[in-house]
Amino acid sequence: MIFRLLGPLTVTGAAGAVGAPKVRALLARLLLDAGRTVPVERLVDGLYGDEPPAGVQGALQAQVSRLRRALPPGVTVEFSPGGYRLAVADPAADVDVLRFEALAREGARAAAAGDPGRAAALLREGLGLWRGAALADVRDAPFAAGQAARLDALRLDAVEEWAAAELAAGGDPAVLVREVERAVRAQPLRERLRGLQMRALGAAGRQAEALAVFEEVRAALAEELGADPSPELSAVHLEVLRGGAAAPERTCPPLPAPLTDFVGRERERERLAALVTAARLVTLVGPGGAGKTRLALEVGAGLPGEVRFVDLGAVTGGSGAAYGGSGLVAGEVAEAFAAALGVRGAARLEAALAGRPVLLIADNCEHVVAETAVLVRRLLAACPGLRVLTTSREALGITGESLLPLGALEPGAAQELFVRRAAAVRPGFTGHARVAELCAGLDGLPLAVELAAARLRTLSVEELADGLGERFELLSRGDRTAPERHRTLRAVVEWSWSLLEPGERELAARLSVFRGGATAETVARVCGADGATLASLVEKSLVEVRDDGRHRMLETIRAYAAERLPHDDPAPAAHLAHYRDLAEAADPELRGAAQLEWLARLDAEDANLRAALRRAAPEDGLRLVAALSPYWWLRGLRGRVAAPVAELLGRVEPTAERGEEYALCVLAAGLREGEHVDRAAAFLRARTAPLRQPYTAFLWSTSVGPLEGLRLGDDPWSRALGLVGRAHLTTVPAEAEALLTEALAGFRALGERWGTATALEGLAAHARDPLPLLAEALELFECLGVAEDVVDLLLRRATLHETSGNPSSAATDRARAHETSRRAGLQEP
């Protein structure tokens, strides 16, 4: 044994004393995960807590350097992008904590297999490694309290298992009494321990003392907890009265009690309760941090009958490599089920469940999904009264399994959760204008929302919302008592990532180039992915499939995956090329009968198109802006794209060859005057060829002002638009009406709605009864979603209603105009 933590920290063969407190704490933290990489964020959190000093990364590196100099030969601290790793030859042999944990597991398995003598020997050896309190001289470190409590609990469990094995093997009663009484002094109300004390006293012929122990416990439970002894302890009392010494059964732990109130999920709660009542196997599946455990416990607590909780998170299954099944891991899974049921040994599971109507909640199955599936299938087949509810990031894959996917909270519920948790750390907090934005940016994931609310101790809502681009650093402080995979936002995603195969990780990283999701066909084209790998990511809750068939990552998962995309990966370039081609294919279709269909396609890809624009080099960026300008106009999205277009404009070297595209950039950036506008106007005036983008003349004239000399193309849409322009310039009403009538016919022939509505709007000014024309134009603008034109027509029609003495219709139109403006974010008319 080289390293000892079960008492004062000692290192055998060290080059020098490991004396500095921070260095000793660092060593202790690395030893707890010896042989495994510990992320830097976790080390910082464990060593410095909630208030790390400035330059903490440098401070950590300095401590690592000091530790390396003090370590014995053959032991090193390795660094990788994932963090630091203490490399030792055999962690389970060289570190007393890991050796103790291994011996405790082996002893429990031996007891379950009906070999109490071997179990007692293994557990005795493990307990003999303890020389005092665990982590005794590093307990001031933030990580130490939680780890010491965990180890103390494991030690007490091992004492109980050892005592039970010694009793079954006929060990020395005097030794038993002495060791158990030592443990009882620390935990006088632990009923299994007191039951073992009574059995040991009975085996030593001291029945009167054993009965006195029961009376002492009964009085203490009544006084301190207002409770009676458990059925298990009462059974031991009865055995002692009868003079027997039957082997003890484990006590059944109750469902974990929640520490906070339950928020949202009303529909999911009702649906899950119905499923659990109707089906024998239900799996609550979803990404990490979605609140699967909490929902399962909430539903389980409200159901009649016996409900038991199986926490598989502590099972050491480990990685996706274990999915093929492991006898060792399978034994640990079965032991966890046995412990939850109060059954002494996994071999007795089926007998204990025969004819017993019980619901088992098996939590955190994803890393042992294969082993859990095998055990659950066997138990369900053998035990008709059994029902099982599992929580996992992946389905068990058993015939008859009912799935309930769990994703984001509804926006209102997410905001309520944030406000409630925030009020706990900042009394008096009742909300903020940016809470909705913050919760949406966190995907409505309950764990992320709660982590963000906890940061209100030191940050404002504005700082949280503005900092979402660095979400993993921002939300790096969580509940110290929670499992490590749930303490920080990064840890939640890292746990899911660790369960992926290499090919799945590669595809997940490439999927990060998409914003707003993509179809499976597009994913295959951009990422070079096969359908099976993509389906596997869906099954493991890294990717969700929406009702429209699009595959999408939650933004938190996407951000983590983006960090792991190599700089030279071809996916970003393929993404840009795909969406540039899509925009250019859509452009002419927006001026024809398929206009609505293509608008819908661009709507679905809006986030991807903007992402492509942000990563585009100037040449591709100009092409994108030229192709998308009609779409942005028709959908009223110019305000949304102004910032990335302005950024592109700052990188463009304007030339006459790309003068038209440059002018469209100026318009999309929202510029109406200044150097860029003057330069773009000069390019347009100097142009002798027809415009490449038919919308250029219209957009320039409506945004900046008419510009003479622009030549439209000879295609039918451009000819019709030219007729509208001429109609607006003529001062002869009859000529204007004729030009608009001809333009209307041209647009109708194309099946193009925007031009048709524009021509109808113009003709209404010359009609005796303009209302029917305005009504048709309004309907077309509404189906296109052109909010500005809808508002203008409603106000124009309201004025006509007022003139004709119809105030009720006028008021209705004005109210609709105001509501349309509000929804579209326009200035009040």
Q: How many CA atoms lie within 13 A of 362 on its CB side?
A: 31
Q: Considering 682, 703, 724, which residue would you say is the last residue of a domain?
A: 703
Same domain for 790 and 724: yes
Inside any domain, residue 322: yes
Q: What per-residue confidence (pLDDT) applies to 578?
A: 94
* pLDDT at residue 249, as a whole number: 43
The CA distances from residue 646 to 616, 651, 789, in Å, are 13, 9, 25
pLDDT recorded at residue 485: 53
Per-residue tokens: 10: 């000692």
Is the residue at 108 inside a domain? yes
* 2 and 103 share one domain: yes
Q: Is residue 260 part of a domain?
A: no
1 and 130 in a common domain? yes
Q: How far apart are CA 744 and CA 734, in angstroms?
A: 15
pLDDT of residue 321: 32
Cα angle 580-583-585, degrees, rounded to a multiple of 5: 110
Low-confidence ranges of the chain (pLDDT < 50): 245-253, 318-326, 480-481
Does residue 261 sit within a domain?
Answer: no
Helix locations, 636-732, DSSP H: 638-651, 659-668, 675-686, 695-703, 716-729
pLDDT of residue 153: 81
Residue 298 CB: number of other CB atoms within 10 A?
Answer: 18
Is 176 contained in some domain? no
Tokens for 628, please give them.
């998308």
pLDDT tens digits along 348-362? 778 777 767 888 999
The verdict on 37 and 131 lying in the same domain is yes
Token pair, residue 772, equals 């029917």
pLDDT for res 410: 86
SS3 content of the chain, % helix, strand, coil (to 5): 60, 5, 30
Same structural domain for residues 3 and 151?
yes
CATH number of the domain that residue 194 is part of: 1.25.40.10
Domain annotation covers residue 466: yes
- Are 397 and 419 members of one domain? no
Check whether residue 21 and residue 164 sit in a common domain. Answer: yes
Q: 709 lies in a domain?
A: no
Kindly state whether residues 334 and 400 are assigned to the same domain.
yes
DSSP 8-state assignment for residue 40? H
Q: Which residue has the tokens 């996916």?
A: 571
- The string of pLDDT tens digits covering residues 23-73 is 989 999 999 988 888 888 888 888 888 778 888 888 888 888 888 888 888
Q: Is 243 left (phi over 0), alpha (psi -120 to 50) or beta?
A: left
Identify the DSSP state of 86. Answer: E
Q: Is the pTM of this model over 0.75?
A: no
* One domain, residues 663 and 807: no
Do residues 4 and 140 share a domain?
yes
CATH number for the domain that contains residue 560: 1.10.10.10
Q: With beta carbons less than 8 A apart as the criterion, state whether 773 and 767 touch.
A: yes
- Which of 355, 377, 405 is the last residue in one of the domains? 405
User: What CATH number is attached to the domain comprising 329?
Assistant: 3.40.50.300
C-alpha 160 chain-centroid distance: 39
Residue 257: inside a domain = no
Q: Considering 535, 550, 565, which residue would you say is the last residue of a domain? A: 565
What's the pLDDT score for residue 546?
Answer: 82
SS (H, E, C) 516-550: CCECHHHHHHHHCCCHHHHHHHHHCCCCEECCCCC
Is 658 found in the same domain as 762? no
Q: Into how many domains does the chain fold?
A: 7
Residue 394's closest CA among 284, 531, 557? 284
**Claim to verify: residue 30 and residue 86 sit in the same structural domain:** yes
Full domain range(s) for residue 625: 572-703
Of the candidates 50, 53, 47, which has an alpha carbon nearest to the alpha carbon of residue 29? 47
